[in-house]
Amino acid sequence: MSEGIAILTSGGDSAGMNPAVKCAAEYAAAKGYKPWLVYDGLRGLIDDKIVESSRELVSGILHRGGTILRSSRSKRFFDINFRRQAYENLKKRGIGKLIVVGGDGSFRALNQFYADFGIPFAGIPATIDNDIAGTDYCLGVDTALNIIRQSVDSIRDTATSFSRAFVIEVMGRHCGYLAMVSALACGAEICLTPELPYNLDAIGAKLKHEIRNEGRGYILAIVAEGTKMGDYLTRWINDSIGMEARLTVLGHVQRGGSPTVYDRIMAYKFAVAAVDSLHAGNTNAIMVYRDGTFGHLPIHTVVDSKYKLDPALLKLCMPLCG
């Protein structure tokens, strides 16, 4: 009987998860494995929501956002007894390998699972914050950026029509990647992120000069949610600069949407790398994309390292912080 590989998605959803699931299942079958799908993430491992993959189950999912396998964050998985239950569910089906599409919390959970029961896994990084150490790219980032770009472009139409300022809050509790790239791509005048210090006095002086002397008619500001500056910056623009300001919080619209071409192709490449890594006998490896090349790193190298933004990106955004 062919050895089984189970595929699950865990943690926050992101566009690109479905293409990754489809490719991993099909490529695993082509390599001689029996692919299985786990519904509801870690919770599904415990509750035995494990189904043998079929053409029908993975057909027509490339264009869909989110994850057809659904996701969850399971507190029960911290309990060894529930992890043992998950192991028994895999063992009775002959599943000896796992692929998880998610973030570092999911990777840590399966690393503990490996320590307990010796089930190796390959991790595919998927989070729109793009904040997993060791990889330049995580699935879902390009789609999220395009959704933000489309939203900001639409907001600019109203900003120019009414000569207003708009503050747009994007996701990123601990990482300002989305805010920085969006601010540069959309031509924002202000960008506030957790990584860069800002000087509102300098920003205000510059914008007032442009309004008085250069005919500036509107302002776009993009802030990362982790700064908690959305409301304050909106009031500050209104009171200190004297331009009517509005706040738009984009929220979870950034996580959904049909995956872009780039996310679909990256999903395929990550999935092939994950299956190949397991086939080669690697355990607890996280797939990474660095400097245009796909590879893998041991889980501890990834989860024990602090993610650092590209210094060139930080330098480009510094003028937007005053």
Could you report the per-residue pLDDT of 272-287, keeping only the tens digit for each?
999 999 999 999 999 9
Average pLDDT on 142-162 reads 97
Q: Say yes or no to pLDDT of 73 above 90.
A: no
Tokens 């189970």 correspond to what residue?
Answer: 6
By annotation, the residues acting in catalysis are 129
Cβ contact 33:64 at 8 Å: no
115 membership: H or E segment, kind and range: helix 104-117
CATH topology of domain 141-255: Rossmann fold (3.40.50)
The answer to whether 13 and 54 have CB atoms below 8 angstroms apart is no
Check residue 193 and give its pLDDT: 97
The pLDDT value given to residue 72:
87
Minimal CA–CA distance to 16: which of 75, 61, 74, 71?
Answer: 61
Tens of pLDDT, residue by residue over 222-234, are 999 999 999 999 9
- With 0-12 / 13-18 / 19 or more C-beta atoms within 10 angstroms meaning exposed / middle / buried, residue 90 is buried
Backbone torsion region of residue 116, taken as left when φ is above 0, otherwise alpha when ψ lies between -120 and 50, otherwise beta: alpha
DSSP assignment string, 172-202: -SS--HHHHHHHHHHT-SEEE-TTS---HHH
Establish whether domains 4-140+259-306 and 141-255 are of one fold.
yes
Query: For the sheet containing 121-125, what is the strand order?
Result: 50-52, 34-38, 4-9, 95-102, 121-125, 285-290, 293-298
The angle that helices 104-117 and 80-91 make with each other, rounded to 10 degrees, is 80
| CATH for the 4-140+259-306 domain, from 3.50.50.60, 3.40.50.1980, 3.40.50.970, 3.40.50.450 | 3.40.50.450
Classify residue 285 by its DSSP letter.
Answer: E
User: Could you read off the pLDDT of 203-258 as tens digits, one per residue?
Assistant: 999 999 999 999 999 999 999 999 999 999 999 999 999 999 999 999 999 999 99
